[in-house]
Amino acid sequence: MIFITKSKQMAILLVFILIFSYLSTTFAFEISLVTNHSLPTKITTTPASNVNLSMNTKINQKIVQSTQVLRVLDSTPLIDKESKLYDLVKYSSLSSPIFDTLVDYDFETGNIIPSLALNWVVSNDSKQWLFILRENVWFHDGSKFNGSAVKFNYDRLIDPSHPAYSSDETFDNFPLESIDVISEYRVIFRFSTSFAPFLEVQAPDVEIKSPINFQGVNISTLIGTGPYQYDQIVKEEDKQTLILTRNPSYFRGIPPFEKIYYIIFYDFEDCSVAINANLGDVAPFDPPEVNFTEYWDLPFTSAGQIHLGWLNHQHQILSNHKVRLALNFAVDKFQYMSELNAIGYRGKTVFQSFFPRFLSYRNDSLPGYPYNVTKANELLDEAGYPRDNNGYRFNLEIIVSNSTRERADFLVGYFDTIGINCTILALPFIDAVNKTFFQGEFELALFHITQLHNPSFLHWLLHSTGQFNAGNYSNQLMDQVLELSFTSPIHQEREYYNSMIQTIAQDEAPYLLLFENLNQYCRANHVSSVVKVNKNYSFGFNYSLSVNSEIFVYTDIPISSVSLYFPFTDTLITQLDENNFNINISMSYELEQYFQSFQGTGKFIQVSTDQKNAKYRLRYYYNSFEVEKLFLDQLYSYNQNSNSWSLLDIISSNSSLRYIEVELKGGLHFLSLGRKFIFITYKLVPIISLLFGSVLVFGVVIVFYNQLQINRFKRRYNL
C-alpha cells in the first residue's frame, strides 16, 4: 500500500485551492465583462485634429545608393522624330511617375487605397461622392493641390467649352454632372445616375494636373504632383528620350531614383535589340524576340485580357444551356494553354469563371468547367442531339481573325471528341468584328476583351443590353443582380451580388471560357524590389501606407435627407427626422489599453452629432474576418458616466448582405460588436466551474481517505 505523507497531502490540497481560486477569479472577471461590458481603462475620444497620416517607403537602400538612374525602354509605332511631347505621353507608359490620382489600386489585394484623396463618403444611391483631400501637397510648378485643382481636372473631361478640354482624354458613358468645391480640401462629385464603380473605373485613371498656366497640350500638361518631374527631352534618329528628375518634396517620401530615362524607340525591333543587350532596367511589354537571361526578371501584371468564345443564343442549338455547358466541359484548358505556349503565347492561365483571378469579388469556391468528356457527352445526349452514322451530332462554325486562327485550330479536336463537326471561318480582324458584333451572323466567335479591375465590365457581357453581348444572352435575374451591383457602393452588398452573378453564369454558361492572357513585362533583377508595374503598363514604386489606429475619421459630414455610406468604417447613416445635422465618425480596432487582459480582436466605432436630439439609424457592415471573431447579432453601446456597456436593440439585420442596424439619438456613442471568445467562455463557465469543483472535491476526498487509511494502519499495528 502506498501512502501520501501529510506534507504532500497539504501541498496537493493547496495546489487545488490555488487553481480553483485563479480560475474562479478569471471567470468572474470575464462574466463581469460580458454582463457589463466594462473596460479596465476608460475610453477617451480622439479629436480629428490629432489624426495623422504618415507615408513610409519600402525601398531597398542599397539599390537607391548604387542605382541613381532607372532606364525604361519602350516602343510605339505611333510616334516618330517629329512627334510632340504630348504624343509621347499619350502613346507611351511614362505618365505614372509624373502624376497622382485621387485613389490608387493595391494590385496585391485588389482594393482601392487613398492617394490624393485621404478618404471619402458616398450616398446610398451612389450619385453623390464627397472626397476629403490630402493637405500640404504641391504641384511641380510650386502651386498648391486643393479642391479647385480637382474640379479643374474633372471639368475639362465633361465640358467641351473648357479651355483645357481634350477629346482624347474623355470617357464614354461617364455620367458626371458637376463637381462642387465645398471647402479647400473637400469636393462633391454629383452624377446623373447611380455610379457605384466610380472609384474603380475612372478615379484611378484621371491624372491630376496643375491648373496654373495650363494651355491645352503644351509642356504644362506634364506638371503633376508625382514622384518625378519633367526635365528635358532628347530627340534622335531612332528614338526619343524623356528625362525625369526626382521630386524631393513628394508626399509619399523620397523617390528611389535620382533620374528616370524613358527611351522610346520608333521601331519595335530596335527596342528588342536594346533589351537583349541589357541596355535598360524596365520594359513595359514582353517581346517574343527577347532572349531572357539572368539579368531579367519576368513577373506578371494584374492587367490583361480574357479570351472567350461568343456563343449565339439565338441559334437553335446554342440556345440550349446544356449544349453550352458541354462545350465548356469538352475543352482541356490546361492542354490548350500548353499548345498555345508552345507557339509563342506567354502569360496564359486557366479562365475558370467570369471573374479573372485578379478581379475583386472573385469566388474561388466555384469549380468552373474542369475537363470532362464523359459529362460533355451526357449533356449533349440529354439535350437531344444523338450521334449520326458518321459519329457527329451537329455542325458548328467558328469565326476567328486571321492572326489568331491557331486558337480555333486547337479547339476543333476537342469538339470532334464529343461529336461536333467544326469548320473554321478565318477573316481579317475588322471583318470578323463586323460579322460578329454588328451583323450577328455567327455561331461561335473567338475574341478577347481587355480585363478591367472591376467586375462592372461584366455588364457589357452579361446584361441583356450589354454593348458586347453579341450573342444576345438574356436572363432576367442576371439583369437585376447586375443592376444592383452597379448601383450599390457598399462593399459587402457588391460582394454578395457579384457572388450571385458568378453562380448564375456558372449554371448558364453564356460563353465559352478559354484563358486569361496576363500581361508580362521585362524588369531587371537589380530593381525588382523597387519597381512595380501598374495597370496599362505604367510604372510605379513600392510605397506602403502607415497609419495609426484612429486614422479612419470623418469630421463634420452633413447629413441631409440622404443615407451616407462611410467606407472606412463600414457604416451607413440614415437620417430619421427633418433636422439636418453634422456627424463625426471614426473606427479603430482593439487598443491594448482597452483590453489588456485578453487576446482577440474587437472593433470600436465612435459616432457623434452636433445636435443632441437628432435621430438616425446606423447600419454596420461586417467583413468575413469578423464573422469568425465577433458576435454579429450583439452591438453594445458604451456609457462614459457609468464606464459600462449595454446591449442595443437590433432594428434589422441581414446575414447575406452582412449588416446589423440600430437606432441612435444625438450625443456621443461608442459602439462595439461582442467578441466571440468572451461569450464562448461565458457559456462554458458553469460547465468548467462544475468540472474544476468536482476535481477539487475529488482531491479533498483522496486526501482524507488516505489519512483514514493511515490511521487504520496505525491502530492495527499499535503505532
Decide if 565 is inside a domain: yes
Backbone angles phi, psi at 198, to 5 degrees: -50, -50
Q: Residue 83 falls within a domain, yes or no? A: no
The verdict on residue 213 lying in a domain is yes
User: Residue 560 falls within a domain, yes or no?
Assistant: yes
Asked which of 195, 218, 241 is the last residue of a domain, the reply is 218
The pair phi, psi for residue 42, each rounded to 5°, is -80, 140
515 and 553 housed in the same domain? no
Same domain, 503 and 431: yes
- Distance (Å, rounded) from C-alpha 717 to C-alpha 274? 105
Q: Which helix (H) or strand (E) holds 167?
A: none
Residues 657, 700 contacting (CB under 8 angstroms): no
Domain count, the chain: 3
CB 485 within 8 A of CB 455: yes
pLDDT of residue 386: 95
- Asked whether the beta carbons of 8 and 714 are under 8 A apart, the reply is no
What cell was used for 163? 479651355
Question: Nearest 5°: phi and psi at 435?
Answer: -65, -35
Domain C-terminal end among 167, 192, 218: 218
576 in a structural domain? yes
Question: What type of residue is 591?
Answer: L
C-alpha 26/C-alpha 45 separation (Å) is 29
pLDDT: is 317 or 716 the higher one?
317
Query: What's residue 110's pLDDT?
Result: 65
Judge whether residue 425 has pLDDT over 90: yes
- Least confident piece of the model among 325-334, 366-375, 442-451: 442-451
Show the cell assigned to 350.
486557366
Least confident range of 20-29, 547-556, 564-573 = 20-29
pLDDT of the residue at 138 = 95
9 confidence band (pLDDT: 50, 70, 90): low
d(CA 7, CA 707): 12
User: Do 495 and 590 belong together in one domain?
Assistant: no
The answer as to whether 171 is a domain residue is: yes
pLDDT of residue 17: 54
Classify burial at 554, counting beta carbons within 10 Å of its beta carbon; exposed 0-12, middle 13-18, buried 19 or more.
buried
Name the helix (H) or strand (E) containing 538. Answer: none
pLDDT over 50 at 655, yes or no: yes
Q: Sheet harboring 511-520: ordered strands across?
A: 348-350, 511-520, 300-311, 444-451, 394-401, 420-427
Q: In this model, does residue 522 exceed pLDDT 60?
A: yes
User: Domain with 112 in it: what CATH number?
Assistant: 3.90.76.10
Q: Tell me the pLDDT tens digit for each residue of 371-421.
A: 999 999 999 999 999 999 999 999 999 999 998 898 899 999 999 999 999
Q: What is the pLDDT of residues 90-100, one digit of tens each?
A: 666 555 688 89
- If we measure between CA atoms, which residue out of 260, 156, 142 comes closest to residue 208? 156
pLDDT of res. 38: 32
Question: What secondary structure does DSSP assign to 447-461, as a single string?
Answer: EEEEEPSSGGGHHHH
| Whether residues 494 and 556 fall in one domain | no
| Residue linked to cell 506534507 | 7
Three-state DSSP class for 256? coil
Note whether residue 363 is domain-resident.
Answer: yes
Name the residue range of residue 666's domain. 9-52+548-678
Q: For residue 260, is it within any domain?
A: no
Q: Report whether pLDDT(173) > 60.
A: yes
CA distances from 476 to 465, 480, 509 (A): 11, 6, 15
More confident residue, 334 or 624: 334
| Grid coordinates given for 266 | 520608333
pLDDT value of position 62: 33
CATH number (domain holding residue 30): 2.60.220
Nearest Cα to Cα of residue 552 among 594, 595, 518, 584: 584
How confident is the model over 315-361, as pLDDT tens digits? 999 999 999 999 999 999 888 888 877 776 665 676 777 777 767 78
Residues 6+ positions from 116 with CB-CB distance below 8 Å: 100, 101, 102, 103, 133, 134, 137, 145, 150, 208, 225
| Domain edge (last residue) among 470, 502, 520 | 520
**523 pLDDT more than 90:** no
Banded pLDDT at 158 (limits 50, 70, 90) = confident
The one-letter code for the residue type at 191 is F
Q: What's the rounded mean pLDDT across residues 148-167?
A: 85
Does pLDDT of 530 surpass 60? yes
What is the three-class DSSP state of 62? helix
Give the dihedral sign, CA 190/193/194/199.
negative
**Which pLDDT score, from 0 to 100, does residue 26 have?**
41
Is residue 119 located within the same domain as residue 201? yes
My answer on whether 508 and 611 are in the same domain is: no
Q: DSSP 3-state helix, strand, coil percentages of the chain (rounded to 5)?
A: 30, 30, 40
Shared domain for 401 and 503, answered yes or no, is yes
Residue 34 grid coordinates:
460580458
SS3 string, 579-646, reads: CCEEEEEEEEECCCCCCCCCCCCCEEEEEEECCCCCEEEEEEECCHHHHHHEEEEEEEEEECCCCEEE
8 A C-beta contact, residue 562 and residue 575: yes
* CATH for 502: 3.10.105.10
Q: Is 135 helix (H, G, I), strand (E, B) or coil?
A: coil
Predicted local distance difference test score (pLDDT) of residue 456? 73
- Same domain, residue pair 438 and 485: yes
Same domain membership, residue 379 and residue 513: yes
Average pLDDT over the chain, rounded to whole?
A: 77
Any idea how long the chain is? 719
Higher-pLDDT residue of 641, 498: 498
Output b/e per residue, 426-448; b: 16+ Cβ within 10 A: bbeeeebbebbbeeeebbbbbbb
Q: Which residue has the higher pLDDT, 2 or 467?
A: 467
Instruction: Provide the CB-side half-sphere exposure for 458 (13 A, CA).
Output: 31
pLDDT band of residue 539 (cuts 50, 70, 90) is low
Are 308 and 457 found together in one domain?
Answer: yes
The model's pTM: 0.75
What's the longest Cα–Cα distance across the chain?
122
The predicted pLDDT at position 46 comes to 35
Position 337 scores a pLDDT of 81
Percent of the chain surpassing pLDDT 70 = 67
Given this model, what pLDDT does residue 290 score? 61
352, 392: one domain: yes
| Span 357-374, average pLDDT | 84
Average pLDDT over residues 205-233: 78
Domain identity same for 439 and 369: yes
